[in-house]
Amino acid sequence: MLNIGCFLSQISAFLLVSFIYLGFRLFGWSERTIFRWPALALRKGFLLWVTPAQQRWASNLPMNTLVLFVPQQEAWVVERMGRFHRILEPGLNFLIPILDRIRYVQSLKEIVIDVPEQSAVSLDNVTLQIDGVLYLRILDPFKASYGVEDPEYAVTQLAQTTMRSELGKLTLDKVFRERESLNSNIVHSINQASDEWGIRCLRYEIKDIHVPPRVKESMQMQVEAERKKRATVLESEGTREAAINVAEGRKQAQILASEGEKAEQINKAAGEAQAVLAKAEAKSKAIRMLSEALTEQNGNAAASLSVAEQYVSAFSNLAKESNTILLPSNSGDISGMVTQAMTIYGTLAKTSQKGAPEALDEMSEGPANQSAASQ
């Protein structure tokens, strides 16, 4: 009975102290003001048997106060008598003092880690100084607590080694051009290795890339040469386009001019054709009127007189614009010329009554007879 009473008294005292401590915590008091020395003693005793890598977690670990309130987006790993027991979810939780101990506190938020600057050698043997930023998140608090000693340090070292490995596969020009591809390859390599640690690498970003001064000068010269080349190419293309435009303009002008000339010739030919048709119609009308006049009384005599006048007029116009003078054999005999003209007209008048061969024979014999008569 005495042992049971002592045990119950100890339990009562412990519960009283726990409730008093919880009440002071609710009013804003901390363990430093209430149980300063016992807390320090407990923590110092705890630090004696944890590993050096875990000591940075120990300074921020909450104490077991029987009733615990876990913040949102945090996971508290609890051990019971040195062995993993469970993971506390956000909200109200109860633990057994002395037996249960909060060993790890894992943040489930996105963690940003600054990767220090490091040297790497590219494929074309150029030494680079590169730093970056790593974004990761803890997906499994159990693996992050027991799978690796220090998850953030492990991921940082893995990012540095992966960066050096990926940079060794690229030349200097590709490093600047393929930053996105390089970041993706680093993230993929980190996720393959960190799967056993319960950590997921979300992305990796290269911040700065520093090259040696001589390489930087050569790159600047290359950029200037490339700009001059582009300017020359653009200028030549402008000249070529201008020449093409001028040639196209000339071509269009020639086409339009030829089309205008063609239209002019067509119109001119159409006008000439109309004129010829008009002349032909007028001549046809004149011939018709002449034939009608010839059928009348004394029509042949009038026609003979007109032909004789035209014959004499034609001989008078031969010497006006030329040095060569064509004279008939009887040019001095005017009456003979008139007689010859009348003979020709008479022959033409008979063609309507005789065949064409006979009329031609008479026309050829007429002048011969007249020349013989004149002689």
pLDDT at 54: 47
Q: Which CATH number fits domain 111-211: 3.40.605.10, 2.30.110.10, 3.30.479.30, 1.10.10.10?
A: 3.30.479.30
**Any idea which residue has 């790890």 for tokens?**
104
- Of residues 292 and 109, more confidence is placed in 109
Core vs surface per residue 124-162: b (16+ CB within 10 A) or e: eebebebbbebebebebbebbbebbeebbebbbebbbeb
What is the per-residue pLDDT across 306-338, written as a single tens digit (0 to 9) for each? 666 676 676 666 656 555 555 555 555 656 666
SS3 state at 347: helix
Q: Which of 155, 156, 162 is nearest to 189 (CA)?
A: 162
What is the per-residue pLDDT across 135-179, written as a single tens digit (0 to 9) for each? 999 999 999 999 888 888 889 999 999 888 888 888 888 888 888
Task: Say what angle helices 334-350 and 356-374 make with each other, to 10 degrees.
Answer: 160
Order of strands across the sheet that contains 74-80: 83-88, 74-80, 100-107
Q: Which of 312, 318, 313, 302 is nearest to 341 (CA)?
A: 312
Beta strands in the chain (DSSP E): 67-70, 74-80, 83-88, 91-94, 100-107, 111-121, 127-138, 199-210
pLDDT at 11: 72
Token digits of residue 83: 């062995």
What is the per-residue pLDDT across 32-70, written as a single tens digit (0 to 9) for each? 444 443 444 444 444 334 444 444 444 468 887 788 899
What is the per-residue pLDDT across 331-357, written as a single tens digit (0 to 9) for each? 556 566 666 666 766 665 565 555 444
- Mean predicted lDDT score pLDDT of the chain: 75
Token digits of residue 318: 């031969």
Task: Say what angle helices 299-316 and 334-350 make with each other, to 10 degrees.
Answer: 130
pTM over 0.85: no
pLDDT at 50: 44
Say if CB 123 and CB 165 are below 8 A apart: no
Nearest-5° Cα angle at 160, 156 to 166: 140
pLDDT at 9: 63
Token digits of residue 47: 């630090």
Q: Indicate the DSSP class of residue 53.
A: G
Domain locations along the chain: 2-107, 111-211, 217-296, 299-374
What is the per-residue pLDDT across 238-254, written as a single tens digit (0 to 9) for each? 888 899 999 988 888 88
What is the per-residue pLDDT across 197-222, written as a single tens digit (0 to 9) for each? 999 999 999 988 888 888 878 877 88
Q: Which residues contact 351 (CB under 8 A, 6 or more apart)?
A: 359
Round the CA-based radius of gyration of the chain to a whole number and report it: 63
